[in-house]
A and B are shown apart, each in its own frame.
Chain A
Amino acid sequence: MEQVIGVPRGLDYYLFYPFWQHFLASLGLGTVVSPPTNKAIVDLGATHAVDGCCLPLKVYLGHVLTLAEQGITAFFVPRIVGIARREYICPYFLGLPDFISHYLPRKGTEVISPVVDFRRGELAAAKELIRFGARYVPWPEAARAYYSAWLAFRSWRQRQITAVAPERLTVLVLGHRYLVDDSFLNQGVMGRLHQAGAQAITSYQLPEAFLSKGAKRLGKRMFWTSGRQSLGALEECLGKVDGVITLAAFACGTDSLVTDLIQRRARQAGVPNLLLYVDEQTGEAGIGTRLEAFVDMLVRSKQR
């Protein structure tokens, strides 16, 4: 019987899944993705994980354990050192496979974790991933699989770049992608903004060069990819957006400093900004009320 690999729908899933989907399929590996985040998954992760870890990591663990309950024994948990030159995502991504292995029975489970390290350029990262692929298929085939997956990934990224309609009320939503895209964790912030008639843009809907240009103006080079993208987007969008919403996860280490930098910068520039911290107790009503009030305020000041 062919082994099915479980892919947890969390953390790197939101950054990389189109790549993995193609790559793993070309290597002849069958995958199953865990269901979208729900209350049971959050609770499962929060019950098992050590206290101090951040919400997205707890949820990721919840996804892994949910897959395990479905009888999956192999899990795809890459060790992501960095996804851009000289940058990291955060220490959790570095230790992710080891962290997850700790919560799985040692016998009878397998954690499949290729190393993703773009800090020394794309070539070095490609070599590492092709070497990983060569464990399943001959290496030329692995190289081809890598290349086609890379193309698919690039076009996926390009498709997300969206133009901003200048006349509409525009809100810049900043934060880790696995928070912004997980509508359960953020209580549907994007949908709510849409309903309220606002146009929401996120940092990954903006071209990478645009973000890097903004990030160059920082006092110190930002070494967390998500932080660089958020701060870069903020720098470039000041004056072009009506408001800024920052989504942050409780106990997230990078957010603790990045949100402070975002808020200070927005304050100095006179842009209305709202900081939304989410944790496993966050309720729908609280977030909804705050969002409504924020959008109302933006609408009123735009009319004036």
Chain B
Amino acid sequence: MKITFPHMGSLYIAVEALLQELGHDVVVPPPTTKRTLELGVRYGPEVACLPFKVMIGNLLEARALGADTVLMIGGTGPCRLGYYAEVQRQILEELGTGLEVLVLEQPLENPARLRGDLRELFRGRRVSRLPWALYIAWEKLKACEALEELALVVRPREKALGLTSQVLAQALREVREAGGVRAVHQALKLGKVALRDTGAPGKDRVHRIGVVGEIYTVLEPFVNLRLEERLGQLGAEVVRTISVVEWVRNHVLKGSVGLYKTTKLERSAVGYLRGWIGGHGLESVARANDLAADGVDGVVHILPFTCMPEVVAQAILEGVARDREVPILSLVVDEHTAEAGFQTRLEAFMDLIRRSERWAVHV
């Protein structure tokens, strides 16, 4: 059995470690490219959202490298992601790929099915290694996120354009190659030092831009056209509000025992949104409000075309922008999003922020 899974940012590092520790033969899909998307557009439903298409592309590319099993997550709505795995399974079957789809669903959803999928996943594997595998995957996940977040801070202050991204890629590679938890920590430490080293002195004050939106588009650099890197290179320190570590803590650890509450988010979104609307819609509104209160210079909201929860958030964020007097730019991405237009909009947004600040000084 050769197992694969779709990409989402640098998450593959942790998932790969988890599956490898269990003794699986892991095929990480090639990095997402235009070709991946073309495959997804060809075989996915025409009107499905962008993440669906990219994921189908990932799986087909992994199959070309010999994968025969897919690991996906399920869900119970109302966001479309919950039904991804089922539609993907049918598409892959119809294409005659022979890929088997194993789905990690909520335990109470369909216990018999889940038991079957888990048995398949663990058959002949070292189940006793599971706690250790989870531990190392968790440490790698935290390390990757820490490095990426540090990169967001140092990038606007980098000595040479593109240096941070190079150093970050190298640091992530080292985390990926680390064989044990101690090695992960070592790689993290060295990576942090290397990242801090890219900064040029005398560039202390930069603009701070918050990024909110749908988790996949925020985290997957191919889909968001390297949004964070672009903003950083335009001289903005990006504040990321989406974190996989937090997501796991809230939805897997606390959520599974019913301890996760959205009360805090609801309080932040009060006056705009009266509760959870699926996906990351509530998060987007709440975090944009928090960011505005925190005094960021602007907020970028990114979402896939027709993403239901985020469209509601998009409308409401217009109100947040007006009330809080903070510029908010909503960027909708789909398979037709072109680099030039995207870059122009970001540049214009940054110009607007710089200019409004100059005015503020003169008043």
| Shortest distance from the beta carbon of A111 to any chain B beta carbon, whole Å | 10
Known contacts A256-B48, A264-B94: does B274 contact A97 (CB below 8 Å)?
yes
- 6 new A-B contacts, CB < 8 A, other than A253-B49, A259-B45, are A52-B306, A91-B278, A91-B308, A223-B77, A253-B308, A260-B87
B303 and A52 contacting across the interface, CB-CB below 8 Å: yes
- Taking the complex as formed, is B23 at the interface, i.e. its CB lies under 8 A from any CB of chain A? no
- Taking the complex as formed, is B76 at the interface, i.e. its CB lies under 8 A from any CB of chain A? yes
- Taking the complex as formed, is A242 at the interface, i.e. its CB lies under 8 A from any CB of chain B? no
- Taking the complex as formed, is A54 at the interface, i.e. its CB lies under 8 A from any CB of chain B? yes
Bound complex: CA A53 to CA B332 (Å):
12
- Indicate with 1 or 0, residue by residue over A211-245, a CB within 8 angstroms of chain B CB atoms: 00000001111111000000000000000000000
B312 and A92 contacting across the interface, CB-CB below 8 Å: yes
| Shortest distance from the beta carbon of A151 to any chain B beta carbon, whole Å | 29
Known contacts A50-B314, A260-B87, A264-B94: does B275 contact A94 (CB below 8 Å)?
yes
B77 and A224 contacting across the interface, CB-CB below 8 Å: yes
- Taking the complex as formed, is B131 at the interface, i.e. its CB lies under 8 A from any CB of chain A? no
Known contacts A50-B314, A52-B303, A52-B311: does B82 contact A223 (CB below 8 Å)?
yes
- Indicate with 1 or 0, residue by residue over B297-319, a CB within 8 angstroms of chain A CB atoms: 00000010111111111111011
B45 and A98 contacting across the interface, CB-CB below 8 Å: no
A88 and B45 contacting across the interface, CB-CB below 8 Å: no
- Taking the complex as formed, is B277 at the interface, i.e. its CB lies under 8 A from any CB of chain A? yes
B45 and A90 contacting across the interface, CB-CB below 8 Å: no
A94 and B276 contacting across the interface, CB-CB below 8 Å: yes
| Shortest distance from the beta carbon of B55 to any chain A beta carbon, whole Å | 13
- Indicate with 1 or 0, residue by residue over B23-58, a CB within 8 angstroms of chain A CB atoms: 000000000000000000000010111001000000
- Taking the complex as formed, is B66 at the interface, i.e. its CB lies under 8 A from any CB of chain A? no
B332 and A52 contacting across the interface, CB-CB below 8 Å: yes
Chain B interface residue count, Cβ-Cβ cutoff 8 angstroms = 47
Q: B-contacting residues of A (Cβ < 8 Å)?
A: 49-54, 79, 86-92, 94-95, 97-99, 102-103, 218-224, 248, 250-257, 259-261, 264, 277
Known contacts A50-B311, A98-B316, A260-B87: does B109 contact A88 (CB below 8 Å)?
no
- Taking the complex as formed, is B329 at the interface, i.e. its CB lies under 8 A from any CB of chain A? no
- In B75-99, which residues have CB < 8 Å from any A CB? 76-80, 82-83, 85-87, 89-90, 94
B314 and A52 contacting across the interface, CB-CB below 8 Å: yes
Q: Output the nearest chain A residue to B310 by Cβ-Cβ distance.
A: A52
- Taking the complex as formed, is B344 at the interface, i.e. its CB lies under 8 A from any CB of chain A? no
Query: Can you list 21 contacts pairing A with B, beta carbon distance less than 8 Å?
Result: A52-B307, A89-B78, A91-B309, A94-B312, A95-B273, A95-B312, A97-B274, A98-B312, A99-B315, A102-B316, A220-B85, A223-B83, A224-B78, A248-B47, A250-B47, A253-B49, A254-B80, A256-B47, A257-B87, A259-B45, A264-B94
B78 and A79 contacting across the interface, CB-CB below 8 Å: no
Contact residues in B for A92 (Cβ distance below 8 Å):
308, 311-312
Among B79, B86, B89, B311, the most chain A Cβ lie within 10 Å of the Cβ of B311
Bound complex: CA A92 to CA B281 (Å):
10
* Residue from the list A53, A94, A252, A255 in contact with B78, Cβ < 8 A: A94
* Residue from the list B45, B274, B314 in contact with A257, Cβ < 8 A: B45
Contact residues in B for A220 (Cβ distance below 8 Å):
74, 83, 85-86, 110
- Taking the complex as formed, is B279 at the interface, i.e. its CB lies under 8 A from any CB of chain A? yes
- Taking the complex as formed, is B272 at the interface, i.e. its CB lies under 8 A from any CB of chain A? yes
Bound complex: CA A248 to CA B310 (Å):
20
A261 and B90 contacting across the interface, CB-CB below 8 Å: yes
Bound complex: CA A87 to CA B83 (Å):
13
A79 and B110 contacting across the interface, CB-CB below 8 Å: no
Contact residues in A for B275 (Cβ distance below 8 Å):
79, 94
Contact residues in B for A95 (Cβ distance below 8 Å):
273, 277, 281, 309, 312-313, 316
| Shortest distance from the beta carbon of B330 to any chain A beta carbon, whole Å | 8
Top 8 closest A-B pairs, CB basis? A223-B77, A95-B312, A88-B78, A91-B308, A260-B45, A91-B278, A95-B277, A253-B308
Contact residues in B for A254 (Cβ distance below 8 Å):
80, 308
Q: Output the nearest chain A residue to B318 by Cβ-Cβ distance.
A: A102
Contact residues in B for A50 (Cβ distance below 8 Å):
311, 314-315, 318, 330
Bound complex: CA A220 to CA B109 (Å):
9
Contact residues in B for A94 (Cβ distance below 8 Å):
78, 275-278, 309, 312
| Shortest distance from the beta carbon of A181 to any chain B beta carbon, whole Å | 21
| Shortest distance from the beta carbon of B103 to any chain A beta carbon, whole Å | 8
| Shortest distance from the beta carbon of B312 to any chain A beta carbon, whole Å | 4
A54 and B87 contacting across the interface, CB-CB below 8 Å: no
* Residue from the list A99, A248, A253 in contact with B80, Cβ < 8 A: A253
